[in-house]
């Protein structure tokens, strides 16, 4: 299992607007081969973190490439700066 993680700092008070727009990227991310799940966290300090889970590292990296391009085009005005991305193996996980 591999995770692709994207993170950005949002302008204050943008949580609802970001959530509405981010839903548009789900079909892009979920169309990448090996897709297993997608989560977005909006922290109290306006840090936005998106986590996609895949069954192979190449797909995780591809999702980051696609997502960063989409973020730049669609979320730029709502963010303080550019998004960052990383990908790697999930080394611990637990499900009920």
Which tokens belong to 4? 């692709």
Q: How many domains is the chain partitioned into structurally?
A: 1
Whether the pLDDT of residue 34 is over 90: the answer is yes
Apex CA 80: angle with CA 78 and CA 44, to 5°? Answer: 85
What DSSP string describes the chain?
Answer: -EEEEEEEEBPTT-HHHHHHHHGGGHHHHHTSTTEEEEEEEE-TTSEEEEEEEESSHHHHHHHHHHHHHHHHHHTGGGBSS--EEEEEE-------
Q: Would residue 39 count as lying in a domain?
A: yes
Whole-model pTM: value is: 0.90
Q: Would residue 96 count as lying in a domain?
A: no
Give the domain extent around 51.
2-89
CATH number for the domain including 55? 3.30.70.100
Write out pLDDT tens, residues 40-90: 999 999 999 999 999 999 999 999 999 999 999 999 899 999 999 999 999
What's the confidence (pLDDT) of residue 96? 93
């Amino acid at each position: 299992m591999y995770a692709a993680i994207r993170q950005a700092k949002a302008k204050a008070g943008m949580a609802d607007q970001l959530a509405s727009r981010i839903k548009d990227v789900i079909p892009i991310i979920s169309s990448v081969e090996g897709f297993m799940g997608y989560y977005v966290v909006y922290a109290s300090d306006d840090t936005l973190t998106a986590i996609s889970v895949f069954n192979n590292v190449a797909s995780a990296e591809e999702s980051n490439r696609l997502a960063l391009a989409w973020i730049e085009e669609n979320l730029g005005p709502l963010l303080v700066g550019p998004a960052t991305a990383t990908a790697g193996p999930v080394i611990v996980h637990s499900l009920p």
